[in-house]
Amino acid sequence: MLKWKPTRRKRRQYALIGAAAFIFIFILTVHHHGTINPPGSHNAPAVYERAYNPLVPEHARFWKSLYGLILNNNPQCLKRPDLVVPRNPDIAYDPDYSHPRPDVLWMDEADISRMKAAHSNFITDIRSLPTNLVYNPGTRGIVTTASEGLLAILSISLRMLRKTGTNLPVEIFLNRPTPFTNAFCTNVFPHLDAKCLYLSDIFSASDTTVNLNTYQYKVFSILFSSFEDVLLLDSDAWPISNPEPLFHSLPFSDTGLILWPDFWYASESPYFFDIAKIAHPPPLTERPATESGEMLYSKAKHGLGIMLAVYYNYYGPEYFYLLQSQDGPGQGDKETFPWAAAALGEDFYFVHHPVGSLGRHDSNGEYIGTAMIQYDPVQDFFALSQRSFRPPAVNPEEIAHPDPSVQKPAGTERVKPLFVHANFPKFDPITIFDDEIKGVHTPTRDSNGDWVRCWMPEADAVELFGFDLERRFWEAMEEGACGDLLGLWVAGGRPERYALEQVRRRDQATCDKVRRYYGEVFGKGKE
């Protein structure tokens, strides 16, 4: 048998062709998988493998049925609710002072009737659905969602979660896979025991086309989570201590739904109560608006409520967001959750302790708030049940309301802080040191030019939290900026060398700045 044998010149040509092919495949791989690690990086290059989601077929079947009911009950109003009266929506909540419920929308009577009929029919339809929500019975976990621009912030939040000692699994719901998300889902999140799941997988498997906006992701993450009991956290929210006791304690073990307060008065339109057939709207002093950065849900107990919340959010941008907030602060999905439960007569627990604010006083006298504190619902519940509950006396430097004129009542019962929602500005290690944020000084730098603590003096932090929470947070920032996030290059376009080097330099500069800030403000020692 004749064997073909290339000449030396041919072998050289084939070697060059092979090398070129290897380089081409490497470039395509980098472009597709979105990551490359610089020399010396502790991260080994990883090929992205999407986390297997065995519940996709069941979720798809359920969603196809629910989606049909949602479409069949489109309100089909001729005109959307119209904001016709100017108002000052930022009214700080004070349970001792009542004022008239705002009524600043206009709707045509025929459209109100259409919405009322669609709302009523949808509730009837979901009550007769042959299948329930899909989840693995007896499971508990944390669910979150993030846009591409918040993935670095989410990685810091997950570090803070793990520093509490919890081993609760985490599901991160993203819209669809991209080179950017692949980089994080391969090189960062697995180290934090968190896996990425994609809504597009379920929508594709169910042959439905759903285009979501920012506020709508949260309810779909709850709907499609594999956990029976779900702690939903925003990408920039994290627990101060281990949240696991919440799952097996009152009030959650009784009600199956816990919600937390915002700073502001609630501002639902009277039209909404008419549409939802809620005969007796609560007085404005009963509870403030909802802050949905943290929610605890039992899918077994609140399956119908979650489905109605999906309905409210699906038609939220057109109808329900405005009907439930009337252009109030943070208008979006946040009021869909309590009102979905209320419209169905489902029980839920609303934390009574007012939300707190974390921030600092600048040398020029200005207060710069950058985060919210939410309190332990277990302690809140028992303090309330003992009839001795009043919110604790507070030091203005410790917890300050964004409106300095609002004084919080003193009391004897202490309810501990449990969550931080660092929502404005976003604590992204790349941008947090920017000199100006919407016309105010950065939280990290005083107006006199000095680097400063963002939240409170160390002694106050130890008194409030039991340890220096802010130091721990910046440890997590340093670990992220100088660890998993360092050299995490994502190819947004052509993977040319200059772009790679530019991002490497930026990442190293970010790490250096975080380290300088941490060293100057907190010293070199660890917590």
> Comparing C-alpha atoms, which of 311, 288, 287, 239 is closest to residue 402?
288
> Is 7 domain-assigned?
no
Task: Name the average pLDDT for the chain.
Answer: 85
pLDDT tens-digit map of 285-330: 999 999 999 999 999 999 999 999 999 999 999 999 999 999 999 9
Structure tokens at 23: 């380089």
Q: How would DSSP label each residue in 16-37?
A: HHHHHHHHHHHHHHHHHH----
* Token pair recorded at residue 362: 């600048």
- Residue 523, domain member (yes or no): no
Q: Which pLDDT band, with edges at 50, 70 and 90, does 440 fall under? A: low
Query: What's the CATH number where 127 sits?
Result: 3.90.550
Task: Answer whether 495's CB lies under 8 Å from 30's CB.
Answer: yes
Q: 460 in a domain, yes or no?
A: no
Q: How do residues 218-247 score in pLDDT, each as one tens digit?
A: 999 999 999 999 999 999 999 999 999 999
Residue 489: pLDDT over 70: no
Pairing of strands 237-239, 288-298: unpaired
Q: Specify the 3-state DSSP secondary structure of 241.
A: coil
Is 148 within 8 Å of 115 (Cβ atoms)? no
- 43: in domain: no
The verdict on residue 502 lying in a domain is no
CA–CA gap between residue 118 and residue 128 (Å, rounded): 15
- 91 or 71, which is more confident? 71
The stretch 250-275 carries a mean pLDDT of 98
pLDDT of 379 strictly over 80: yes
Range of the domain at 332: 58-72+99-350
Domain annotation covers residue 44: no
What is the C-alpha to C-alpha distance for residues 178 and 146, in angstroms, rounded to an integer? 13
What's the number of domains the chain is made of? 1
Higher pLDDT, 508 or 173: 173
Q: Is residue 156 part of a domain?
A: yes
